[in-house]
Amino acid sequence: QVQLVESGGGLVQAGGSLRLSCAASGRTFSSIVMGWFRQAPGKEREFVAAISRSGGNTYYADSVKGRFTISRDNAKNTVYLQMNSLIPEDTAGYYCAAGVSGVRVGVPADYGYWGQGTQVTVSS
């Protein structure tokens, strides 16, 4: 079992920045692939970013590449999503996810554990 708790969401103006955090517990953090997904009202959950167990490999959706940065601190059991140059289209609930094995980073079904989500709202 893995428990995930996100924090850091909020309301920000377009062009601004936010940093999301996701604290994990219940399993050796360095054994878990971590991802961030988002879901806007009326839309499907979409992949945002993922990071390998060691942090050596990162993956991004085209829509956020160059603006968002995923990182992890295995000593603190925490994964981060630094979001810069935010645009109104980034408005969504953001969810942290953990995958143990056989993870295709962009596929929600491959992540076995999810946080409760944190809302990000970007005003124009």
Whole-angstrom distance, CA of residue 84 vs CA of residue 70: 12
% pLDDT > 90, the chain: 97
Q: Contact at 8 Å (CB) between 111 and 104?
A: no
Whole-angstrom distance, CA of residue 79 vs CA of residue 111: 15
Counted residue by residue, the chain has a size of 124
pLDDT at residue 7 is higher than 90: yes
Q: What value does the mean pLDDT take over residues 40-49? A: 96
pLDDT at residue 27 is higher than 90: no
What pLDDT digit, counting tens, does each position of 60-110 carry? 999 999 999 999 999 999 999 999 999 999 999 999 999 998 899 999 999
